[in-house]
Amino acid sequence: MSNLELVAKQAPQAQTMAQTCIDLAARDNLARYELAVKARLETGINDDNDLRLADDLLKNVTLGADAIETATRPYISAAHALHKSLISIAGEWKSRWTGMADRLKSAMLAYNKRKAELARRQQLELDAAAEAQRRRLTEEAREALRNGDMNAAKAVFENVRSMVVPIVSQSRPALANSSMRNPWAVEITDKHAFVKAIADGIVPICAIKEFDLGFLKREATTRGGLDWPGVNAWQEEKIAVRR
């Protein structure tokens, strides 16, 4: 089954449009022009008279394409409008679900952040307490040394070396239905520095997804060419058909 037949089965409007295309093809002699163009291309364009005949054919086949475009545009526009409407309707309902999901995710992430911050503060307190204890014991050892009590000083120094600071656990419970991930996010904070880094070979040029060729063409048209570094502008020869 062709794509056209498949679409026609899915939408009555497509069947109507397909019949419109068939009727226009018959009215405008599509098959005859296909044969004529095939013959012309096989014969080739060998002189000015052949060029004029090809020009006549080009005019007629362009008008045939215009007729199809004009006849099918309303159907396609209606389909686009229907597509947009369906997406909007689905979006309204989906957003109610995704909105709840987003709020739950935010609450879960906020909890994890609070838990991590609490653990960080507790760890800082334990580290500070341990450091204070080290200083106190070290001072005791020095005092023992000053008093000539080598055994006491040695025992105190040993206590200092063997001190272990407790590590506050930051483990998270294993959830049955979701997991926490840490994907990277990026932003360009200085466009000029970024472009310079590409020019200097620090950043690969593929970091730019695509260049705005439309803008460059408009600038070339306005300026009558472009003499910008790394840009080559030239005028192509194309054929425009007068309707």
pLDDT string in tens for the chain (243-residue length): 555 555 555 578 888 999 999 999 999 999 999 999 999 999 999 999 999 999 999 999 999 999 999 999 999 998 898 889 989 999 999 999 999 999 999 999 999 999 999 999 999 999 998 888 888 888 888 888 888 888 887 887 788 788 888 888 888 888 999 998 888 898 899 999 999 998 999 998 888 888 899 999 999 999 999 999 889 999 998 899 998
Report yes or no: 67 and 1 within 8 Å, Cβ to Cβ.
no
Q: What pLDDT is attached to residue 96? A: 95
Q: What is the pLDDT of residue 9?
A: 56
Which of 33, 31, 18, 32 has the alpha carbon at shortest distance from 68? 18
Q: What is the DSSP letter of 230?
A: T
List of residues 6+ apart from 219 with CB closer than 8 A:
226
Answer yes or no: pTM beyond 0.75: no
Q: Is 199 helix (H, G, I), strand (E, B) or coil?
A: helix
